[in-house]
């Protein structure tokens, strides 16, 4: 069957000493994670460590605690501490940092450069495991400097590869490629064929993350040939699995399964459990896309079992989440609940007699399937909270919100969608706004002052009243006429001051909230969330913002964002559209609330056309320094209300908001992409070009239109 997926911003993580790129894909309503394995430094050592697991670490600890090392502070102890640190990097990075620092201190005391490089490299891997990329790069570059001073060419190639991986995990693909190509060139010059294969595979993986699939496949095929010539089974397994993922993203499922099963066979023969788990996961993903849910869940459960055995909580959380989404895919697939249900039961029966027997069968009732989805998603969420992984938390909250939607529980649906939005905002901000944090600190202070100003104004009013009382008491001792004149004078003055303060307070409140909501808050002290049937949401985003930001200073970056968003504010105000918020370089607004507007869709499209025109003019004026905007619009219903009690904000929730974001992600630079729902509302007023059915993240195939 034809796959219905969409890709989103990718995230990357380190898994059991292997460098793994993780990219999201969606089946109908929800996402499944495709794991793409890359080589890491000392790959052979990593695979050996994974095969031994905790037993290898225990052997190192036993040796460290022996009488010899309690007495002797020598280079062998540095090696042992560095090995412990390295092997803890993918299990317990904090523990690894402790041992690595001990090794580094000892090597420094011994004045042993090779030892300092070894310990620094292990520490770099530990910080990579903690997702502290700047710290990882710092230690890797320290290692690189030592290798350069000692002329260790092989070490230079390896640590250059590690630096590329650290940048890759940050999502800085340009820097990652820079170091991978540099490492590849040096490996070719020194005749290090293993490093050539490693970096060839790494370059292919970055190409895949940038969705340059033909070039990615070309590099993976080269890596397969190099690995075969070298007789490197582990490298061959990685390159084979990676080739399968490329075919997967190209929707060639037969080829994807062919390479996934080839990789599985090789991994099983080599006894490399981490690769076996990846193959199970990837095969499960393909079967999910083919709507063969029993096979999909069975393979993912087998991968889950291995991940649990090797105690990788991140991978365990991801697969638990994926299985939960698989059940959601079943629930959202009408065929799976209708005529196709018999096929699922038949697949269960077939699996029971096959080589991979199912660990569980898919229940027949909707209620039981909902329960299964909730069970796996909640387990994944618990693990994600434990290991503080925001990407898994974000997906789980979104999935749990969908479960409550299926159960008809609106309150919990909204509550979990709010949590999803909060985590998403946090994750987005972490990934995209680090460069402007310092400059934004001043803006943050101003916002805080603005948010607290209502309390300040209230205190000033109380002070003014007390002052008027005191003045009144003083005037009582003065003669009748003077008293009346004086009292009148001060009352008029106080009234003017009070009115000025009230005006200031109202202006501040209106700068935070819509006027109708502000009026309700002032009169009653509260503002209830409200449901709106007919609204239109607009999302804008700047194309290649991260790349563009690298060419600007932080001050220039903030100034350019301010200029653009100020233009957007002026445009939407002209059409009575309510600005909700900005998230990094994204801009969110809505028409049709808090006051309903029958022209909500038309107003938003007109505003979008002006926004695109303004950005086009700006590019003509300042050239490449100008951002290119991408716009998405969708119409539907939403819930809106006040969030929080301190620095509160007016926000909106619901599937309409999510779909508008998907329209923006599926748009192009300088284009306005609208959904079929919005098209039906504005088709008689604007020129719209049908784009066909396009995969939209979390939505599957959706009809989309460009407005011109």
Q: Is the pLDDT of residue 435 over 50?
A: no
DSSP letter assigned to residue 90: T
Mean of pLDDT values over 41-54: 39
The residues with which 370 forms a beta bridge, in sequence order, are: none
Beta bridge partners of 35: 22
Mean pLDDT estimate for the chain: 76
User: Could you tell me if 150 and 188 are in contact, meaning their C-beta atoms sit under 8 angstroms apart?
Assistant: no
Higher pLDDT pick, 197 / 558: 197
Domain ranges of the chain: 291-429, 435-512, 529-707
Q: What is the DSSP string of 371-391?
A: HHHHHHHHHHHHHHHHHT-HH
CA angle 456, 459, 463 (to 5 degrees): 135
What is the rounded CA–CA span in Å between residue 141 and residue 138?
5
- Length of the chain equals 708
Which one, of 402, 415, 408, 346, lies nearest residue 376 by Cα?
Answer: 402
Q: Which residue has the higher pLDDT, 427 or 95?
A: 95
Which one is the CATH code of 529-707: 3.30.70.1230, 1.10.3720.10, 3.20.10.10, 3.80.30.20? 3.30.70.1230
- Note the pLDDT tens digit of each residue in 588-635: 999 988 888 889 999 999 999 999 999 988 888 887 778 889 999 999
Residue whose pair of structure tokens reads 């990718």 in the numeric block = 10
Banded pLDDT at 671 (limits 50, 70, 90): very high
Beta-ladder partners of 617: none
Q: What are the structure tokens assigned to 487, written together?
A: 């009292």
| More confident site: 243 or 17 | 243
Residues 654 and 536: their CA atoms lie apart, in Å, by: 12
Task: Identify which of 63, 16, 557 has the alpha carbon closest to the alpha carbon of residue 311.
Answer: 16
Cα–Cα distances (Å) from 3 to 25, 26, 133, 249, 291, in that order, read 11, 10, 35, 10, 9
Q: Name the token pair of 617.
A: 């003019």
The CATH fold assigned to 291-429 is 1.25.40
Q: How far apart are CA 691 and CA 674, in angstroms?
A: 10
The model carries a pTM of: 0.53
- List, in sequence order, every residue forming a beta bridge with 317; answer none if it has no partner: none
Confidence of residue 33 (pLDDT cuts 50, 70, 90): very low
DSSP string, 508-552: HHHHHS-HHHHHHHHHHS----EEEEEEEEEEEEETTHHHHHTTS
Q: What HEC string does 392-405 produce? A: HHHHHHHHHHHHHH
The residue with greater pLDDT, 478 or 36, is 478
Is 126 within 8 Å of 104 (Cβ atoms)?
no
Give the separation between CA 84 and CA 86, rounded to whole angstroms. Answer: 5
Q: What pLDDT score does 635 carry?
A: 93
- Which positions ≥6 away from 392 have C-beta within 8 Å? 314, 317, 318, 321, 380, 381, 383, 384
Can you give the pLDDT at residue 156?
Answer: 93
Give the SS3 label for residue 660. helix
Fold equal for 291-429 and 529-707: no
**Distance from the Cα of residue 427 to its chain's centroid:** 5
Name which of 242, 417, 427, 395 is nearest 317 in CA terms: 395
Q: Which residue has the tokens 């660990």?
A: 359
Q: Which helix (H) or strand (E) holds 653?
A: strand 649-653
pLDDT digits (tens, 9 = 90+) for 369-386: 999 999 999 999 999 888
Residue 88, pLDDT > 60, answer: yes
Sheet with 11-15, edge to edge strand ranges = 11-15, 18-27, 30-38
Per-residue pLDDT tens digits for 260-276: 999 999 999 988 888 89
Percent of the chain with pLDDT over 90: 26
Whether 304 shows a pLDDT value over 70: the answer reads yes
What is the C-alpha to C-alpha distance for residues 304 and 317, in angstroms, rounded to an integer? 9
């Amino acid at each position: 069957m034809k796959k219905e997926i969409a890709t989103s911003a990718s995230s990357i993580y380190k898994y059991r000493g292997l460098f793994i790129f993780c990219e999201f894909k969606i089946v109908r309503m929800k996402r499944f994670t495709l794991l793409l394995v890359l080589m890491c430094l000392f790959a052979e050592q990593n695979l050996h460590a994974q095969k031994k697991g905790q037993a290898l670490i225990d052997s190192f600890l036993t040796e460290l605690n022996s009488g010899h090392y309690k007495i002797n502070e020598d280079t062998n102890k540095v090696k042992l501490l560095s090995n412990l640190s390295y092997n803890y990097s993918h299990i317990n990075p904090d523990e690894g940092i402790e041992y690595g620092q001990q090794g580094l201190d000892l090597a420094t005391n011994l004045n042993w450069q090779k030892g300092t490089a070894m310990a620094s490299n292990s520490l770099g891997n530990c910080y990579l495991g903690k997702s502290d990329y700047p710290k990882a790069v710092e230690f890797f570059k320290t290692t690189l400097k030592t290798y350069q001073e000692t002329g260790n060419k092989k070490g230079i190639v390896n640590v250059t590869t590690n630096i590329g991986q650290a940048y890759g995990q940050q999502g800085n693909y340009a820097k990652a490629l820079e170091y991978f190509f540099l490492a590849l060139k040096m490996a070719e010059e020194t005749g290090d064929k293993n490093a050539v294969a490693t970096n060839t595979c790494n370059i292919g993986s970055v190409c895949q993350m940038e969705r340059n699939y033909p070039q990615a496949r070309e590099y993976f095929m080269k890596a397969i040939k190099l690995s075969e010539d070298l007789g490197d089974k582990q490298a061959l397994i990685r390159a084979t699995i990676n080739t399968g993922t490329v075919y997967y993203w190209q929707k060639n499922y037969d080829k994807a399964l062919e390479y996934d099963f080839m990789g599985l066979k090789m991994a099983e023969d080599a006894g490399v459990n981490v690769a076996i788990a990846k193959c199970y996961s990837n095969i499960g993903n393909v079967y999910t896309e083919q709507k063969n849910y029993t096979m999909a869940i069975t393979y993912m459960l087998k991968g889950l079992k291995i991940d649990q055995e090797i105690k990788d909580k991140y991978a365990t959380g991801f697969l638990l989440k994926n299985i939960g989404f698989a059940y959601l895919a079943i629930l959202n697939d009408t065929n799976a609940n209708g005529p196709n249900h018999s096929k699922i039961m038949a697949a269960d029966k077939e699996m029971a007699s096959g080589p991979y027997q199912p660990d569980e069968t898919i229940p027949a009732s909707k209620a039981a399937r909902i329960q299964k989805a909730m069970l796996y998603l909640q387990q994944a969420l618990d693990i994600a909270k434990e290991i503080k992984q925001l990407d898994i938390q974000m997906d789980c909250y979104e999935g749990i919100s969908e479960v409550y939607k299926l159960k008809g529980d609106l309150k919990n649906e909204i509550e979990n969608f709010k949590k999803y939005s909060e985590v998403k905002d946090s994750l987005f901000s972490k990934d995209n706004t680090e460069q402007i944090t310092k400059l934004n600190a001043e803006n943050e202070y101003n916002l805080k002052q603005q948010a607290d100003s209502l309390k300040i104004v209230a205190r000033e009013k109380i002070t003014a009243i007390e002052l008027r009382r005191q003045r009144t008491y003083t005037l009582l001792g003065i003669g009748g006429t003077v008293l009346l004149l004086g009292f009148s004078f001060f009352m008029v003055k106080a009234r003017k001051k009070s009115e000025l303060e009230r005006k200031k307070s109202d202006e501040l409140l209106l700068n935070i909230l819509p006027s109708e909501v502000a009026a309700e808050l002032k009169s009653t002290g509260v503002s209830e969330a409200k449901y709106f049937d007919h609204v239109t949401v607009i999302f804008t985003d700047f194309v290649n913002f991260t790349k563009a930001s690298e060419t600007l200073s932080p001050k220039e970056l903030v100034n350019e964002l301010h200029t653009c968003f100020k233009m957007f504010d002026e445009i939407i105000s002209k059409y009575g559209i309510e600005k909700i918020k900005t998230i990094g370089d994204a801009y969110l607004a809505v028409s049709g609330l808090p006051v309903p507007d029958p022209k909500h869709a038309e107003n938003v499209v007109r505003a979008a056309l002006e926004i695109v025109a303004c950005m086009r003019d700006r590019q003509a004026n300042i050239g490449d320094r100008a951002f290119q905007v991408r716009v998405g619009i969708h119409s539907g219903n939403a819930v809106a209300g006040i969030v929080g009690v301190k620095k509160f904000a007016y926000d909106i929730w619901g599937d309409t908001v999510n779909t508008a974001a998907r329209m923006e992600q599926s748009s192009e630079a300088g284009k306005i992409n609208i959904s079929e729902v919005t098209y039906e509302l504005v088709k008689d007023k604007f020129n719209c070009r049908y784009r066909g059915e396009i995969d939209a993240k979390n939505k599957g195939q959706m009809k989309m239109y460009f407005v011109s």
